[in-house]
Chain A
């Protein structure tokens, strides 16, 4: 096997989770002095593949070679020792500490037992210079901007003298100018011989910065191409493929009266001047890349987060901002993005979770009889085929798909007029996906309104009657319904599609 110049080679790597094969026999290699982008939809396996590289699992199969030598990446320490450095989306800095202490964490220079301040500061300045930062190394991290913190994170990774640098969605929260600055740094690192793996959803960026791009789909590698030889449209095609989605596209019934009207809604710094309307019986899809502000919009809409300007009307009546409880009573519901930390109380039973949004409904004079919700509970468990069906089961024992179904059941039980769904089938097996989609379609057919936020393109396209696109905090327009397709959504989300005014 020719390994000259190849910094990383993964051969036949697979990782199985209970119930799903997240990474399926993937071959992936990166050369020294190359930026290799890794793209794919959510659930395609990019994150898992990189977690294997980071040493997060001790039970992956396949071989990983670094610089020609096979290594076993069974712990984060092993990965670090092998010269792999990851830059995660969530920064791993300690906020109260200074930049210098974060960059040189664990390797603070000493002299005669004491900290060698001068060397610490000068070394830090050197590392910061590599990323083009000219901050005072003694500044506490909590006082610098997010962009600067990210650069510090990169400097920290570089300080460990890695041969492979993995960057996971580094530009989610950066402005255009900051992204360009980051690319400058990446190019400089490339010239210095570093191998960089760049994971991103933003195709325009990938085309700008990467040398080669690998597309993953459903855990398998679909293609590896030099960037010069592909266009965004071709990449989209590869990402989206001709996967048989097995989804039932809804019979699109004519939508009814206006249910939800959003007028010039803004939350400064998160999303600005968003306006749209949803009718009864309609499913409105909101497409966009990570960082475009969709979840923030949904949260502010429902009153979970504050609103700085604009208003929301439900059935013609304004929704009181800032109170989620009031919004739920008025008929809104929001299915959160992360079922484990935001949606379900993992230590409690299915019954308790499903009935948790409607506790007042089963109270009489303050006395709570969950048994009165027993019928509703049983119907929902049956309708959504939650397995195992016992309502007393602790939610954490359920599989991901069943957990998600339980979360959906919770909001179906609340029977809102307008239900906002945020990534309703993330991390869910195909069977559960079908059930969830069916339930959503039935909900709309029954005259309710649904707002669907999803990065799962087939789902978005199949379920939505209309699709609007958000990009960098603005609602930039609506897709022409005649041309709505997975490819057009992705292109539009990247700023390249054709849109009509919303």
Chain B
């Protein structure tokens, strides 16, 4: 969007370099926007919604977060690699239904194993189609999303598969340190009520993914590939393998997430992944993962997911129905991406500027301040962006 330049008859536009007093604060706000958002939501909800800031409700928020977290982590990984995986919702559904459907015959371990393997298989299929057949990831995952969803619909005959025993569900939902809510001191309740095996699995997934992305060469290679595939190729990375791996992980994690949720809820249903896609996409983007690839963190995704879940939860505490929650999360996503676009636009505008010319302007403005607006401070250093050349 080209900003409107000043009309020719008006006095010359202010040369850059005037130190904007809030520039640093604005930049910091942009970088940590997800934490800011989370804090705001908690503050607002805590003040406005009854029963929001109670250990029990907090535990609900975390449970809601952990439902979508593994799939969101997978989506983050794929997005960092520069691709889109729309099949995460269906993969979750698949995990849930397979686990519940197969547990009577294969036992829980067997059922989990099969569910996880199927998730892996889905991911590998996606990855191969994108990397080897070179089909756009949007198309591939849209197609596999439909296929998997309908396959599961056939398998469970359109209904829900309830659990036959509730022991596992109980185990998953019960806090590891089980205290009597009435007798225990609140501080301890805050700390322990949400420590359920179900949440811990999600946390473990997140932690493992975080370590992978931040601390392993493969994880960093993934970032490089998403950030500049050509540079990655030049550095000797097998780009195809990274793409396939990213999708495989995504499918695997989504299936795991779905399986754990279904086991915890003691029912596998087709609806499991339906609403999740929107929430997951919103959380990943709000959490700071770039749509271009190469940039993103699972911690950001997690915080964003907590924020969104808290928002929805808070709204329901306030008595608002399901619909308001949908509107709210859609709105938050919309606002965040608009905010992102604004910052990107600002950076783009300055791309390619020559420092010596700017310095010259500084010097000239400093030496004669006719308009009374001499420059103060150093010019904002232009970032190189991806291409740093100016034409002749």
A–B direct touch in complex (beta carbons closer than 8 A): yes
Are B390 and A291 in contact, with the CB atoms below 8 A? Answer: yes
Docked complex Cα distance between A318 and B6 (Å):
13
Which residues of chain B are within 8 angstroms of A76 by Cβ–Cβ distance?
234
Closest residue of chain B to A321, judged by CB?
B5
Docked complex Cα distance between A77 and B237 (Å):
11
Are B215 and A173 in contact, with the CB atoms below 8 A? Answer: no
Task: Summarize B's interface: helix, strand, loop or mixed.
Answer: loop
Which residues of chain A are within 8 angstroms of B352 by Cβ–Cβ distance?
173, 269-270
Which residues of chain B are within 8 angstroms of A32 by Cβ–Cβ distance?
none
Which residues of chain A are within 8 angstroms of B227 by Cβ–Cβ distance?
94-97
Closest residue of chain B to A150, judged by CB?
B388
Indicate if B117 sits at the interface (CB-CB under 8 A). no
Min distance, Cβ A129 to any Cβ of chain B, angstroms: 21
Indicate if B391 sits at the interface (CB-CB under 8 A). yes
Which residues of chain A are within 8 angstroms of B90 by Cβ–Cβ distance?
none
Partner of B224, one of A101, A110, A177, A295: A101
Q: A105-B232, A269-B16, A269-B350 are in contact. Are A90 and B216 (CB under 8 A)?
A: no
Indicate if B132 sits at the interface (CB-CB under 8 A). no
Indicate if A311 sits at the interface (CB-CB under 8 A). yes
Indicate if B373 sits at the interface (CB-CB under 8 A). no
Are A308 and B383 in contact, with the CB atoms below 8 A? Answer: no
Are A269 and B381 in contact, with the CB atoms below 8 A? Answer: no
Q: A95-B227, A173-B389, A293-B390 are in contact. Are A269 and B234 (CB under 8 A)?
A: no
Are A92 and B230 in contact, with the CB atoms below 8 A? Answer: yes
Which residues of chain A are within 8 angstroms of B385 by Cβ–Cβ distance?
95, 142
Closest residue of chain B to A336, judged by CB?
B391
Which residues of chain A are within 8 angstroms of B360 by Cβ–Cβ distance?
272
Are A90 and B235 in contact, with the CB atoms below 8 A? Answer: no
A-B contact pairs, 6 of them (CB 8 A): A101-B223, A105-B235, A114-B211, A269-B382, A270-B354, A293-B390
Which residues of chain B are within 8 angstroms of A337 by Cβ–Cβ distance?
391
Are A173 and B390 in contact, with the CB atoms below 8 A? Answer: yes
Are B359 and A175 in contact, with the CB atoms below 8 A? Answer: yes
Are A307 and B220 in contact, with the CB atoms below 8 A? Answer: no
Of B7-15, B192-200, B312-320, the segment with at least 4 beta carbons within 8 Å of chain A is B7-15
- Interface members, chain A 92-119 (any B CB < 8 Å): 92-97, 101-102, 105-108, 110, 113-115, 117
Docked complex Cα distance between A93 and B4 (Å):
32
Partner of B231, one of A93, A272, A309: A93
- Interface members, chain B 3-44 (any A CB < 8 Å): 3-9, 12-13, 15-16
Partner of B217, one of A94, A110, A142, A269: A110
Closest residue of chain A to B237, judged by CB?
A106
Are B354 and A96 in contact, with the CB atoms below 8 A? Answer: no
Closest 9 CB pairs of A and B: A269-B353, A106-B235, A175-B356, A311-B8, A94-B227, A290-B392, A96-B295, A309-B12, A94-B228
- Interface members, chain A 259-315 (any B CB < 8 Å): 266, 268-272, 288-296, 305-312
Starting from the known contacts A146-B384, A272-B357, 14 additional A-B residue pairs (CB-CB under 8 Å) come to: A89-B389, A106-B236, A114-B211, A145-B382, A148-B384, A178-B355, A268-B13, A268-B357, A291-B354, A309-B13, A312-B8, A321-B6, A321-B7, A321-B8
For B365-392 the 0/1 string (1 means CB < 8 A from A) is: 0000000000000000111111111111
Docked complex Cα distance between A89 and B390 (Å):
10
Indicate if B83 sits at the interface (CB-CB under 8 A). no
Q: A94-B294, A96-B290 are in contact. Are A105 and B231 (CB under 8 A)?
A: yes
Which residues of chain B are within 8 angstroms of A269 by Cβ–Cβ distance?
16, 350, 352-355, 357-358, 382
Which residues of chain B are within 8 angstroms of A143 by Cβ–Cβ distance?
383
Docked complex Cα distance between A312 and B7 (Å):
11
Indicate if B74 sits at the interface (CB-CB under 8 A). no
Which residues of chain B are within 8 angstroms of A293 by Cβ–Cβ distance?
390
Are A306 and B220 in contact, with the CB atoms below 8 A? Answer: no
Which residues of chain B are within 8 angstroms of A398 by Cβ–Cβ distance?
none
Indicate if B2 sits at the interface (CB-CB under 8 A). yes
Closest residue of chain A to B229, judged by CB?
A94
Which residues of B come within 8 Å of A, CB atoms?
Answer: 2-9, 12-13, 15-16, 211, 214-217, 219-221, 223-224, 227-228, 230-232, 234-237, 290, 294-295, 349-350, 352-361, 381-392
Are B217 and A95 in contact, with the CB atoms below 8 A? Answer: no
Which residues of chain A are within 8 angstroms of B382 by Cβ–Cβ distance?
145-146, 269
Partner of A145, one of B224, B232, B361, B384: B384
Which residues of A come within 8 Å of B, CB atoms?
Answer: 76-77, 80, 89-97, 101-102, 105-108, 110, 113-115, 117, 141-150, 172-178, 266, 268-272, 288-296, 305-312, 318, 321-322, 337, 455, 472-473
Are B355 and A142 in contact, with the CB atoms below 8 A? Answer: no
Min distance, Cβ B357 to any Cβ of chain A, angstroms: 5
Task: Summarize A's interface: helix, strand, loop or mixed.
Answer: loop
Are A94 and B231 in contact, with the CB atoms below 8 A? Answer: yes
Min distance, Cβ A333 to any Cβ of chain B, angstroms: 18
Min distance, Cβ A232 to any Cβ of chain B, angstroms: 19
Are A270 and B3 in contact, with the CB atoms below 8 A? Answer: no
Docked complex Cα distance between A141 and B295 (Å):
12
Are B354 and A173 in contact, with the CB atoms below 8 A? Answer: yes
Are A145 and B355 in contact, with the CB atoms below 8 A? Answer: yes
Which residues of chain A are within 8 angstroms of B295 by Cβ–Cβ distance?
96
Closest residue of chain B to A89, judged by CB?
B389
Q: A89-B389, A146-B355, A176-B356 are in contact. Are A141 and B384 (CB under 8 A)?
A: yes
Min distance, Cβ A50 to any Cβ of chain B, angstroms: 16
Which residues of chain A are within 8 angstroms of B358 by Cβ–Cβ distance?
268-269
Closest residue of chain A to B391, judged by CB?
A295
Which residues of chain A are within 8 angstroms of B16 by Cβ–Cβ distance?
268-269
Are B216 and A322 in contact, with the CB atoms below 8 A? Answer: no
Min distance, Cβ A361 to any Cβ of chain B, angstroms: 25
Docked complex Cα distance between A95 and B227 (Å):
7
Min distance, Cβ B259 to any Cβ of chain A, angstroms: 27
Docked complex Cα distance between A142 and B383 (Å):
6
Which residues of chain B are within 8 angstroms of A473 by Cβ–Cβ distance?
354, 357
Docked complex Cα distance between A390 and B231 (Å):
40
Docked complex Cα distance between A91 and B383 (Å):
13
Are A311 and B9 in contact, with the CB atoms below 8 A? Answer: yes
Are B355 and A147 in contact, with the CB atoms below 8 A? Answer: yes
Partner of A472, one of B4, B234, B357: B357
Are A77 and B236 in contact, with the CB atoms below 8 A? Answer: yes
Min distance, Cβ B239 to any Cβ of chain A, angstroms: 11
Closest residue of chain A to B390, judged by CB?
A173
Docked complex Cα distance between A486 and B111 (Å):
80
Are B386 and A95 in contact, with the CB atoms below 8 A? Answer: yes
Partner of A144, one of B2, B223, B356, B383: B383
Docked complex Cα distance between A80 and B236 (Å):
10
Are A173 and B388 in contact, with the CB atoms below 8 A? Answer: yes
Q: A142-B384, A296-B391 are in contact. Are A95 and B294 (CB under 8 A)?
A: yes
Which residues of chain A are within 8 angstroms of B215 by Cβ–Cβ distance?
114-115, 117
Min distance, Cβ B217 to any Cβ of chain A, angstroms: 4
Are B221 and A106 in contact, with the CB atoms below 8 A? Answer: yes
Min distance, Cβ A120 to any Cβ of chain B, angstroms: 9
Q: A90-B389, A269-B354, A293-B390 are in contact. Are A308 and B13 (CB under 8 A)?
A: yes
Which residues of chain B are within 8 angstroms of A117 by Cβ–Cβ distance?
215
Which residues of chain A are within 8 angstroms of B359 by Cβ–Cβ distance?
175
Which residues of chain A are within 8 angstroms of B234 by Cβ–Cβ distance?
76, 80, 92, 105
Q: A94-B232, A144-B383, A269-B357 are in contact. Are A295 and B392 (CB under 8 A)?
A: yes
Are A308 and B5 in contact, with the CB atoms below 8 A? Answer: yes
Docked complex Cα distance between A309 and B11 (Å):
8
Closest residue of chain A to B223, judged by CB?
A97
Partner of B2, one of A95, A145, A305: A305
Min distance, Cβ B233 to any Cβ of chain A, angstroms: 8
Docked complex Cα distance between A312 and B221 (Å):
49
Docked complex Cα distance between A93 and B227 (Å):
9
Are A266 and B12 in contact, with the CB atoms below 8 A? Answer: yes
Q: A146-B388, A269-B354, A270-B354 are in contact. Are A96 and B230 (CB under 8 A)?
A: no
Are A272 and B361 in contact, with the CB atoms below 8 A? Answer: yes
Are B387 and A308 in contact, with the CB atoms below 8 A? Answer: no
